[in-house]
Amino acid sequence: MIKGIDKKLSYQPAPILELNDTRLNGLDLHLLLKCEYQNHPFISGNKWWKLKYNLEEAQRLKKETLLTFGGAYSNHIYATAAAAKELGLKSIGIIRGEKILPLNPTLAFAESCGMRLEFLSREDYRHKTEEVFIKQLHNKFGDFYLIPEGGTNELAVKGVTEFASSVLHETEFDYLCLPVGTGGTMAGMVIGFEGSKTILGFSVLKGGEFLNDEVKKWSGHSIDNWSIVEDYHFGGYAKTTKELEIFITEFETQHHVPLDQVYTAKMMFGVFDLVKKGVFKKGTTILVLHTGGLQGRSTREFNF
């Protein structure tokens, strides 16, 4: 008897708030925030939806172990470890870079969930998608259900598509804004909205042009009223600046909504900057998706 079979992750429906931000004073614009970061205490935001059907598939295949990849601060590693624990599955996290002790809060949490951590040099880590390498992992760890780095695959996109449909029934809006890492979440929203809304994805990476191809690849090319905004990466993935930190403090004080510096703050900053530049027409309603990631908030890397 395998423990994980038929168990499902708990889920807490998250509200949509209207943000009456002082920066919108005098403008005929509505800003709504879908607080998806509140959907689960540990498997929060988009990661819950990206894992949903992968976990079902792992259970269907009677896998006892999940194996996935990520950096030392990865929200995906954190969420996968928590999900495995909740469903009674084992988990292995292949972590990019050397092991540094004491473990940072992300990895300490993952380990406390029972995740086995294996550290790989950056050089070796590059081979993570190669067949030979995966075979070596199977030789070492036995049978497992593999989830790629960042959690993006077809089943992840399917989960987000389901979320997108539910959002459509919840409220009226014109634009959806969200942060983009691999493009999997954005692709799911594109499919789920079927072209009925304009989607702006804010790249959190420097050199995010490739995300256009990723979103196209996962969403199937036929819908095109979306774009990737590349102007708000603040120096690159997980980099931050004094300006971004000041923005976070100011936003949190005004709205009592926490932002993380890796994803949600960059997007939110970008949204207000586009508002300032007059990108949105009068009467527009912008729905912002808070994708979670707050576990990484305590470990800020400064860039000044």
Ligand X SMILES: *Cc1c(COP(=O)(O)O)cnc(C)c1O
* Contact region with ligand X (CB under 6 A), list: 22-30, 61-69, 224-232, 291-299: 291-299
Give whichever of 88 and 148 is closer to ligand X, judged by the CB atom: 148
* Contact region with ligand X (CB under 6 A), list: 9-17, 54-62, 178-186, 232-240: 178-186
List the interface residues with ligand X, window 63-82 (CB under 6 A): 75-76
- 232 lies in the binding site for ligand X (CB under 6 A): no
Query: 238-277 b/e with 16+ CB inside 10 Å = b?
Result: bbbeeebbebbeebeeebebebbbbbbbbbbbbbeebbee
Nearest Cα residue to 201 out of 178, 222, 175: 178
Minimum distance from CB of 240 to ligand X (Å)?
Answer: 14
- 292 lies in the binding site for ligand X (CB under 6 A): yes
How many residues sit close enough to ligand X to count as binding (CB under 6 A)? 20
- 183 lies in the binding site for ligand X (CB under 6 A): yes
List the interface residues with ligand X, window 92-151 (CB under 6 A): 150
Two structure tokens written together for 22 = 């002082």
Annotate each residue in 43-62 with x if it binds ligand X (CB under 6 A) or - if it does not, as one string: --xxx---------------
Q: Which of 173, 263, 269, 280 binds ligand X (CB under 6 A)?
A: 263
* Contact region with ligand X (CB under 6 A), list: 11-19, 135-143, 237-245, 289-297: 289-297
User: How far apart (Å, rounded) are the C-alpha atoms in residues 217 and 206?
Assistant: 20
Nearest Cα residue to 204 out of 224, 182, 227: 182
Taking CB positions, which residue lies at the least distance from ligand X? 293
Residues at the contact surface with ligand X, assessed by CB under 6 A? 45-47, 75-76, 150, 152, 179-186, 263-264, 291-293
